[in-house]
């Protein structure tokens, strides 16, 4: 399994942004107002992943006094990190699409002006989730074994 790169996340965010922007252009008048703190759930998930990353990092590197990390736990954490980074990318694209529509319309439409804070909070929360997921993923990396490096050189 390889670690997540920007080339894995950017296409998902772009496709979502384009599709949702077109949807919003067609149906914005039919949509209910956006809840101001709709994106905060992504921020909560990001905080959980950062804390989980710190705990895992200590166990992977065996610097904490706890038990050594089971391989299945590391695999599950890695799967969570990969899924969360993809979710964050998709949601960042979605909130960016909302922002791309409501910012220009805010001068004319009161509803668009009131949806700007929701979109900003959602976009920031999605970006923080991506960063937290990539952090968790990096915490799952096994430290380099000096003995392996010597064997590779021979």
Residues in CB range of 28: below 8 A, 6 or more apart = 101, 105, 111, 112
pLDDT of 37 reads 92
pLDDT of 68 reads 74
Matching residue, tokens 């909560």 = 44
For the segment 60-75, what is each residue's pLDDT rounded down to a tens digit?
777 666 677 788 888 8
Q: Domain residue spans in the chain?
A: 7-143
For residue 68, what are the CA distances in angstroms to 1, 54, 59, 77, 143? Answer: 22, 14, 6, 15, 13
As a whole number of Å, the end-to-end CA separation of the chain is 26
The pTM of this model reads 0.86
pLDDT of 145 reads 62
pLDDT of 1 reads 67
For the chain, residues with pLDDT lower than 50 are 151-152, 154
Residues in CB range of 57: below 8 A, 6 or more apart = 139
């Amino acid at each position: 399994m390889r670690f997540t790169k920007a080339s894995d996340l950017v296409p998902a965010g772009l496709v979502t942004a384009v599709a949702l922007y077109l949807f919003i252009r067609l149906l914005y008048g039919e949509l209910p107002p956006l809840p101001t703190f709709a994106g905060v759930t992504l921020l909560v998930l990001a905080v959980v992943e950062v804390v989980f990353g710190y705990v895992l990092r200590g166990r992977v590197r065996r610097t904490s006094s706890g038990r050594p990390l089971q391989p299945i736990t590391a695999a599950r954490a890695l799967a969570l990190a990969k899924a969360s980074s993809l979710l964050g990318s998709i949601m960042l694209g979605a909130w960016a699409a909302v922002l791309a529509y409501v910012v220009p319309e805010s001068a004319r439409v009161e509803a668009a002006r009131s949806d700007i804070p929701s979109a900003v909070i959602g976009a920031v929360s999605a970006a923080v989730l991506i960063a937290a997921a990539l952090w968790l993923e990096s915490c799952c990396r096994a430290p380099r074994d000096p003995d392996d490096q010597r064997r590779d050189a021979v």
